[in-house]
């Protein structure tokens, strides 16, 4: 029977440790989850490693926005894949598209060489590609281990029909990891329907800043996001999701 895997995406040491305590199988380590995630710093990776040996897959994404990169951006991505391999990350999370919406196979092959035996996940660039079934077969050919997807919708529940098809077509060649809107309730609903065994969640909660003095009228980034809100992974949300996966595993074992 295939193992049920719960991946937690985190962008801080505190979130990483909470996810590990809650029962996450592994981490997708990011920076700036508030904008969908960018490449984390080596310092963040190393600080987590001081306190936990949980498996870490590093997101490699140099900026917010689309997944069609300049040559300078591609070289940064390439060096970052190599850097995290040398740091000891177990995997990397990558994805590059051409302007026509297809996978950039030439650049992806180069990144697979740089990964050199690491587990590789194709991230949600897959969700904005032109043909998910073509990209799935290309991912198999590249040797990619996992595809993170919401079924090309804003949430996994909305994309459940495509997710089901992808799980069937993926077979045992790679993992379809369900993401976007994943929590205990979503897993309970979508797990049996799609047949997916791998799930990706942030489990985030919003904490109030410890700042007592708060300067009005000055914003450091996106104007609709408060500078005094901190996003963190909630240990209990991860634990609830893990408990659902454990129950699904028990139910399968009974048949």
The string of pLDDT tens digits covering residues 107-129 is: 999 999 999 999 999 999 999 99
pLDDT of 142: 97
Q: What percent of the chain has a predicted confidence (pLDDT) above 70?
A: 99
* CB 111, CB 78: distance < 8 Å: yes
Q: In sequence order, what E strands does 21-167 have? A: 26-29, 55-59, 91-94, 119-122, 146-149
Alpha-carbon distances of 83 from 41, 111, 224, rounded to whole Å: 10, 12, 34
pLDDT of 255: 64
- Has this prediction a pTM greater than 0.75? yes
pLDDT of 1: 60
**Sorting pLDDT into bands at 50, 70 and 90, what band is 220?**
confident
pLDDT of 17: 98
Q: What's the average model confidence in pLDDT over 172-188? A: 96
pLDDT digits (tens, 9 = 90+) for 16-35: 999 999 999 999 999 999 99
Answer with the residue of higher pLDDT: 228 or 86: 86
pLDDT of 194: 97
Backbone angles phi, psi at 91, to 5 degrees: -155, 170
* CB 59, CB 36: distance < 8 Å: no
Q: Is the pLDDT of residue 100 over 80?
A: yes
């Amino acid at each position: 029977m295939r193992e049920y895997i719960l991946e937690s995406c985190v962008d801080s040491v505190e979130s990483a440790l909470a996810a590990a305590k809650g029962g996450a199988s592994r981490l997708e380590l990011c920076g700036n989850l508030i904008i969908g995630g960018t490449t984390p710093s080596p310092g963040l990776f190393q600080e987590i490693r001081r306190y936990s040996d949980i498996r870490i897959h590093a997101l490699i994404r140099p900026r917010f926005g689309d997944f069609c990169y300049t040559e300078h951006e591609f070289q940064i991505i390439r060096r970052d894949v190599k850097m995290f391999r040398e740091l000891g990350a177990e995997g990397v999370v990558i994805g590059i598209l051409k302007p026509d919406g297809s996978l950039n196979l030439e650049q992806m092959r180069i990144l697979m060489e740089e990964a050199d035996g690491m587990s590789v996940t194709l991230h949600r660039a897959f969700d904005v590609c032109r043909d998910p079934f073509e990209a799935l077969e290309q991912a198999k050919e590249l040797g990619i281990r996992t595809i993170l997807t919401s079924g090309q919708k804003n949430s996994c529940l909305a994309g459940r029909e495509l997710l089901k098809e992808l799980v069937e077509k993926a077979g045992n060649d790679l993992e379809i990891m369900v993401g976007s809107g994943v929590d205990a309730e979503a897993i309970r609903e979508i797990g049996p329907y799609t047949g997916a065994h791998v799930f990706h969640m942030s489990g985030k909660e919003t904490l109030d800043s410890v700042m007592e003095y708060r300067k009005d009228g000055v914003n450091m980034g996106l104007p609709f996001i408060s500078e005094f809100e901190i996003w963190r992974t909630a240990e209990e949300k991860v634990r609830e999701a893990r408990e659902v996966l454990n129950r699904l595993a028990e139910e399968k074992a009974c048949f």
